[in-house]
Structure 1
């Protein structure tokens, strides 16, 4: 019977001496309210009634959802939804002591952490305009991390990540921003259409100018060729007349007959190729005599020029 009375208290003392710390946690031990040591995961022993487990601290990553409001430089309300990821800096004794004794409990720590993040974001947003906020998501996160890292290190924590999942504005601001975007899109479309029309007009003008230039060059070349043909035609006529005149002199005939023949051929050609034109010709003897004299005078004038 006496052995039972000894065994039961021994078992109670042994039970009270055993401390099992779960993986990913660290137990903080105090003696009469003063920090003594830490216990790592696994089976540990403490002195019953003297050592107490003050707090079990998780060294795993923790997350928290945040919702808060900020005001921009141009007095627009911005609403943020963010996800915070943080953890204990490491499981060293100094860091565990910071985590265990800096705050009364976890709720007070979370309140200080959330308010610090909100204050950092609000101070950053207060320097920006509403139109800039949506494009500064990464800059906001970087600014918060830079401001809070040293503060959290003093508390024994490290900020792993801050993700801003949603940024919204008041309904009126959203509507006005939509109108601005729509008007900018219309402006860009009008500018693009204007540029396209300008390009079309420019290309059309260039094409017309090229066509006119090509046509003018073709006309100039045609005129040159016509002039060359006419000159060659006149040269051939002159050669033919010279040969005919020489033959007439050999036959002791009047060279004016050649002029008469050319004149009659000309009249026949005019009558043949004419298209409804009325040509009056003096067919009388006086008229013919007058024409012959004029032609002989032209011939005589040409000979005098050649002699000179």
Structure 2
């Protein structure tokens, strides 16, 4: 009799223990009764009908990632190799969403296969309309195209595509080498153009500097010539004033003014002899020549007297 009580007690204890189930944080439990969907269980300790209600599946609502590697062919028959990282998660925690996630696919493997093949097919269809020279510059467009194509499909499955990153896009070795040569030649062309522009700028600046130097030198020479002319004019003016004063003094003393002219003529010859670079001075030493020179100087003196 005691053994029967023990057995009954064990059964009751087992039933009580099986009436409670723990759901971990980040997951949601799905229960069934006789194989039919019943309800969802949220994280924490939950009560379930013992022996009848079973936990069919525990679904993670955390973000999940998967790496993809596949090949596509462009419209000009170039092989493109992709390496991508896919980030996805359950769309939300609504009951209908959780039901789709739990019952759309037989198991997790089937879902992953469908997801990967859908994304690969979308990318291959997009790449098939582009040339190989365009693919590298369309990384962002490819990602946007995939999101537009499969968002509705994933939503019907209860999932949401959060991000798709194209980590690497490569071609066959021959294409990669030819692309590298094109880039190198373009870089050389750009460098040559930049060097030519720099040389042109340097030459232009040098020509401008030379032109400015010539202008400055010409302006300086003009000012110097003007100053020299002013100096000569002042000198002549002072000489004329001195000659006039000397002539007036000699006239008041009843002396011949031609003596002044003769003195100036001899002083001029002395100046030529002292400051010229030559060794010989040619002068007309005849009495006629002397008389002619004196007449010219006296005539000049009279002209200056009239002006004064």
Judge conservation of contact 2:29–2:56 (CA < 8 Å) in 1.
no
Residue aligned with 1:79, SS: strand
Q: CA deviation at 1:54?
A: 4.9
1:154 deviates by 0.6
Q: 1:234 to 1:303 in 2, by over 3 A?
A: closer
Distance 1:231 1:35 in 2: 123
Deviation of 1:11 (Å): 6.8
1:147 to 131, 146, 149: 149
Aligned to 1:122: 124
- 1:29 matched to 2:32? The reply is yes
* Residues 1:249 and 1:92: Cα distance change in structure 2 (over 3 Å): closer
Which residue of 1 is the match for residue 4 of structure 2?
3
Match of 2:212 in 1: 210
Output aligned runs, 1:94-173, within 5 Å. Answer: 94-173=96-175
Alignment of 1:13-28 (within 5 A): 14=15, 20=21, 22-23=23-24, 24-28=27-31
Structure 2: distance between partners of 1:57 and 1:153: 16
Deviations for 1:199-229, whole angstroms, at most 9, x for unmatched residues? 3223222222222222222211111111111
Partner of 1:263: helix, strand, or coil?
Answer: helix
Aligned-partner Cα distance in 2 for 1:231–1:88: 105
In 2, Cα distance between equivalents of 1:20 and 1:265: 137
Tell me which moved more, 290-299 or 241-250: 290-299
TM-score, normalized by length of structure 2? 0.82
What is the CA distance between 1:67 and its match in structure 2? 0.9
Residues 223-256 of structure 1, C-alpha deviations (whole Å, 9 max, x = no match): 1111111111111111111112222222323222
Secondary structure of the 2:83 match is strand
**1:231 corresponds to:** 233
Q: Is the 8 A contact 2:23 2:41 kept in 1?
A: no
Does the Cα contact within 8 Å between 1:72 and 1:127 map onto a contact in 2? yes
1:44–1:304 distance in 2 versus 1, CA, 3 Å? closer
Aligned CA RMSD, in angstroms, stands at 3.4
State how 1:252-271 maps to structure 2 within 5 Å.
252-271=254-273
CA contact (8 A) 1:29 1:38 kept: no
Shift of 1:12: 11
C-alpha spacing 1:9/1:277, structure 2 compared with 1 (3 Å): same
Structure 1: unaligned runs, 5 residues or longer: none
TM-aligned CA deviation for residue 197 of structure 1: 2.3
Contact kept, 8 Å, 2:28 with 2:40, in 1: the verdict is no
Q: Pick closer, same or farther for the CA change 1:88–1:19 going to 2, 3 Å.
A: farther
